[in-house]
Chains A and B, each alone.
Chain A
Amino acid sequence: MKVENLAISYNGMTVFSDLNVELEKGKIMSLVGPSGCGKTTFLRCISGLTSPTSGTIQLNGCDITKTKPEERPVVLMFQQPLLFPHMTILQNVTYGLKYGKRKLKKKEREEKGLAILEKVDLGSHGERYPHQLSGGQQQRVALARALIVNPDLLLLDEPFSSLDPSLRSSIRLWVKDFLKNEGVTALFVTHDREEAMIIGDEIAVMKDGSFQQTGAPEEVYQNPKSSTVAEMFSEGVHFEESFLPANQLTIRPVSNLKVSDTETIRAVIQYKVYKYGHSFYHLHVPSLKQNVVVSSSQLFNDGDHVDLTYLRSSVQPFHNEQSTIYFTDKARQSR
């Protein structure tokens, strides 16, 4: 998939402009961004449900910018399962094979439907109705319904946001494995950083209608290229021109002692949580008006004033290059 200079505006309001993305076949890209940044509109443009104001969308070398949504080899999966309530699960799953150019005979359709239901572990649920299934099962049916048509590109618009947290964490791993096994090229939209990292081979951070940074999850997490990305995707504190990862910070009781090569910032302990066998302190840094989470084995109390110390050398300057973004390995190497 290759998107060039994509722009859309409604009634003179620009949702996004000049978006450029390239995604290799078989890769999954996670698109992270706050609500209202244009993620959903971007997906709708690629699926054809919304027409862009300008720019082009190419898939497998063909320009599909003006192609009707039903004729694109692209399927969009929504936040809610949106299964047709009056159809059985099997009828829902085989919907895309009943009409249009992917039309198959009833027998073939049902065979394929049952096979994909088996794959999503719902083989015995074909005759049931959507309301008889749980939220997670419904979302799996929606995934099967999207994949049965064998799309060249699958677009997922926060598909787990309507699920409860425990179900959410189990289903996202399952979906990741499923998509990888099937070799599906996918664009996955979320506002959850953890989810983006789990599912995506690539991360794209979007804000205010433009891509802020892209790259492998670890790369974006460790080396944010702007304060916006640092704030949205990384963990640490950021200054005007640089970023300091949270793992470089040490919590110490307040003291006026100066150690060479280190710097100190004052912080207040907000609260403590235990996770993965460690204690994590949620701190507020008044001078930067930022919050940060730092692990420490020392004991502090809520409300304590503390020093956060770090080596000067651990501060990473931002290399802001907010322009064309490519997702192919080749393009990344050339950068």
Chain B
Amino acid sequence: MFSNKAHKFRPYLFLLPGLIIVACLVGYGLFSAIVESLSTPENEGDFYYYIELWQNNTFLQALGISIWVAAVSTVISILVGLYLTRTMVRLFRKDHWKFLAWLPMLIPHFVAAYLVFLLFSPSGWVSSMFYQLGWIGSIGEFPVMVNDPFYLGVIFTYIWKEIPFVILMLLPVYQEMDLRYEDVSRTLGGSKWTVFKTVEFPWVWPVSIEVFLILFVFILGAFEVPALLGVTYPKMLPVLAYDWFYQAAWVNRPLAQAMMVCLSIVSLFAAILILTFSRRWRKKWTVRREEI
């Protein structure tokens, strides 16, 4: 029915509905953001709002706190996820354990943030429990963990939500890993740390880098958790963008658009990096492994 040429185009045909939606919604949004961010006031250069943005103290503070939250949440998620995966890889062969580990993924980020708020806010369940147990004299003594300037509540929410994702990504790596290399390493004098460094790490790190990029960029651009658990100053980038976008006078709209364009460029760049990285990894590892 299909000629060879048609066969070649079939996958694209099947992807077309999805691509059209992405192109229309995201593409148009991005296009209008670019147009608006480049619509400079009279007597100013083309990139006026971009220069303005990168000199804006509020933006720079937001960028700083966003990088802090994204980096800390991502690194801790990966480390904890890696530890859980390697210690529980045999357990995760059973579906009910896997389901339990992946359960937090089913909960939307907003709900997770709300749960963290209910648990850790100064009047939350944990502080009330501590007070009832007599561990703290008053609810005010409970450390500020939500809506705090270090974004601990946000970081905690992301860690809780992203660990299952890290496990999801790393589990196949561990299940495919040839654990006999562990025996080889140990019989040749390698300690447990050597085993990790020379046997597990080479398999795990390409995927970990991919996971890092995905999570980092996602957290950098996600709105709902910092909106609920963040503070008024400094705001995280998406919250600041929303603020500027919907401010009554609309004067900051082009700035918000410029920020979104910058974030999109970072995301795009990360996506290219991820693809290049995984392609190179596949080329370098899978071929060699198959031939041995």
Residues of B within 8 A of A78 (CB): 180, 183-184
Say if the beta carbon of B90 comes within 8 Å of chain A: no
Say if the beta carbon of A330 comes within 8 Å of chain B: no
Q: Mark A48-85, 1 if CB is under 8 A from B, else 0.
A: 11000000000000000000111100111010111111
Say if the beta carbon of A101 comes within 8 Å of chain B: yes
Say if the beta carbon of A300 comes within 8 Å of chain B: no
Number of B residues near A (Cβ < 8 Å) is 23
Closest chain A residue, CB of each to CB of B188 = A96
Number of A residues near B (Cβ < 8 Å) is 31
| A70 lies within 8 A of B186 (CB) | yes
Closest chain A residue, CB of each to CB of B181 = A82
| B288 lies within 8 A of A86 (CB) | yes
Say if the beta carbon of B187 comes within 8 Å of chain A: yes
Say if the beta carbon of B32 comes within 8 Å of chain A: no
| A74 lies within 8 A of B187 (CB) | yes
Q: Mark B186-227, 1 if CB is under 8 A from A, else 0.
A: 111111001000110010000000000000000000000000
Alpha-carbon separation in the docked complex, A130 to B189 (Å) = 21
**Interface-centre pick from B189, B202, B285, B291 (highest chain A CB count, 10 A):** B189
| A82 lies within 8 A of B285 (CB) | no
| A100 lies within 8 A of B198 (CB) | no
Residues of B within 8 A of A80 (CB): 180
Say if the beta carbon of B279 comes within 8 Å of chain A: no
| B188 lies within 8 A of A138 (CB) | no
Alpha-carbon separation in the docked complex, A129 to B178 (Å) = 18
Say if the beta carbon of A280 comes within 8 Å of chain B: no
Residues of A within 8 A of B292 (CB): 81, 83, 85, 130-131, 138
Say if the beta carbon of A274 comes within 8 Å of chain B: no
- Decide yes or no: A84 and B180 within 8 Å by CB, A99-B191, A101-B189, A149-B188 being known contacts: no
Residues of B within 8 A of A74 (CB): 187
| B189 lies within 8 A of A85 (CB) | no
- Decide yes or no: A100 and B194 within 8 Å by CB, A84-B181, A86-B285, A131-B292 being known contacts: yes
- Decide yes or no: A82 and B187 within 8 Å by CB, A130-B292, A131-B291, A131-B292 being known contacts: no
Q: Which of A49, A83, A84, A130 contacts B198 (CB 8 A)?
A: A84
How close is B205's CB to chain A, nearest CB, in angstroms? Answer: 11
Say if the beta carbon of A318 comes within 8 Å of chain B: no
| A47 lies within 8 A of B187 (CB) | yes
Closest chain A residue, CB of each to CB of B192 = A70
Chain B residues in the interface with A (C-beta under 8 A): 178, 180-181, 183-191, 194, 198-199, 202, 284-285, 287-289, 291-292
Chain A residues in the interface with B (C-beta under 8 A): 47-49, 68-71, 74-76, 78, 80-86, 95-96, 99-102, 129-131, 138, 145-146, 149
Q: What are 17 A-B contacts with C-beta separation under 8 Å?
A: A69-B186, A70-B187, A70-B191, A74-B187, A76-B183, A83-B292, A84-B184, A84-B198, A85-B285, A85-B292, A99-B191, A130-B288, A131-B287, A131-B288, A131-B292, A149-B188, A149-B189
